[in-house]
């Protein structure tokens, strides 16, 4: 395929340089994930992984919506689903993409969707009280927190690190806290 996509930030080894390939990859990913996918986050992840330029991904998402291959389901969250025509295109054309690109992109997209879902099930606040920095991490169920942890941290940088770790798997952290609090010492 002809290189017609902007390549800034894209790896020569395993990156996509064709607008058509980027569109095929987007249809393939969103079809494979089979749940609403946040567009801006997907563009950032594919760019970070060196697969496609962030601007090209955003332009491709817009073009796929215009052509009826994708549909935006939530403007606030910027989430998209695949349409039947998009699913058919992905199924028909997925063999034009290398297995390596598909696997790298799919793995990165799954991590991104998991993180997106976790962020919707949590409430994280970083606050200053006098000269102290705190982070409060809450796990939410049905709009109500079922666990909140407030920690004194050294600075905002440490708070951001804790936030990122919490977003990786809040239910695991919840389970480990419950385990530690209910375990009997022998």
pLDDT tens digit sequence for 129-185: 999 999 999 988 888 888 899 999 999 999 999 998 898 888 888 888 888 888 876
* pLDDT confidence band for 42 (50 / 70 / 90): very high
Residues 101 and 163 in one domain: no
What are the tokens at 105?
Answer: 């992109």
- Percent of the chain exceeding pLDDT 70 equals 91
Q: 78: alpha, beta or left, given left = phi > 0 and alpha = psi -120 to 50?
A: left
Q: Same structural domain for residues 52 and 67? A: yes
Threshold 0.85, pTM exceeds: no
CB atoms near residue 130 (< 10 Å): 5
Does residue 99 share a domain with residue 58? yes
Output the CA–CA distances (angstroms, integers) from residue 71 to 40, 44, 127, in the order listed.
14, 19, 38
- Domain holding 153, by residue range, is 121-182
Task: Based on the fold, state whether residues 106 and 128 are members of the same structural domain.
Answer: no
Mark out the alpha helices in the chain (DSSP H runs). 19-33, 39-48, 54-66, 84-93, 99-120, 156-168, 170-182
pLDDT tops 90 at residue 24: yes
The band of 121, judged by pLDDT with boundaries at 50, 70 and 90, is confident
Residue 109 region, left (φ>0) first, then alpha (ψ -120 to 50), else beta? alpha
Q: Are residues 100 and 125 in the same domain?
A: no
Q: How confident is the model at residue 11 (pLDDT cuts 50, 70, 90)?
A: very low
According to DSSP, the β-strands at 144-153 and 132-141 are antiparallel
155, 97: one domain:
no
Predicted pLDDT at 6: 47
Residue 3 lies in a domain: no
Mean per-residue pLDDT, 17-46: 91
Whether 82 and 107 map to the same domain: the answer is yes
pLDDT at 93: 85
d(CA 79, CA 81): 7
> What span, in angstroms and rounded, lies between the C-alpha atoms of 31 and 83?
9
pLDDT tens string 54-88: 999 999 999 999 999 999 999 988 999 999 999 99
| Same domain membership, residue 148 and residue 102 | no
Tell me the C-alpha distance between 79 and 72, whole Å: 6
Edge-to-edge order in the sheet of strand 132-141:
122-129, 132-141, 144-153
How many domains, the chain?
2
The verdict on 104 and 140 lying in the same domain is: no
State the pLDDT at residue 142: 80
Does 76 fall in a domain?
A: yes
Mean pLDDT of 44-56: 91
Bridge pairing between strands 79-82 and 122-129? unpaired
**For the residues 80-108, what does the mean pLDDT come to?**
90
- Indicate the length of the chain as a whole number: 186
């Amino acid at each position: 395929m002809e290189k017609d996509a902007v390549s800034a930030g894209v790896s020569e080894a395993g990156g996509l340089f064709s607008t058509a390939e980027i569109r095929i990859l987007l249809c393939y990913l969103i079809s494979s994930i089979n749940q609403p996918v946040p567009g801006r986050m997907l563009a950032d992840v594919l760019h970070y992984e060196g697969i496609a330029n962030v601007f090209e991904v955003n332009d491709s998402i817009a073009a796929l919506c215009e052509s009826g291959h994708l549909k935006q389901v939530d403007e606030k969250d910027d989430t998209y689903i695949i349409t039947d025509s998009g699913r058919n295109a992905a199924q028909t054309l997925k063999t034009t993409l290398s297995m390596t690109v598909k696997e790298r992109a799919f793995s990165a997209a799954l991590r991104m969707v998991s993180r997106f879902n976790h962020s919707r099930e949590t409430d994280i606040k970083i606050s200053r009280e006098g000269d102290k920095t705190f982070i409060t991490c809450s796990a939410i169920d049905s709009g109500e927190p079922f666990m909140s942890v407030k920690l004194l941290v050294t600075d905002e940088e440490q708070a951001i690190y804790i936030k990122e770790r919490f977003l990786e798997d809040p239910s695991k952290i919840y389970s480990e806290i419950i385990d530690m609090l209910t375990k009997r010492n022998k």
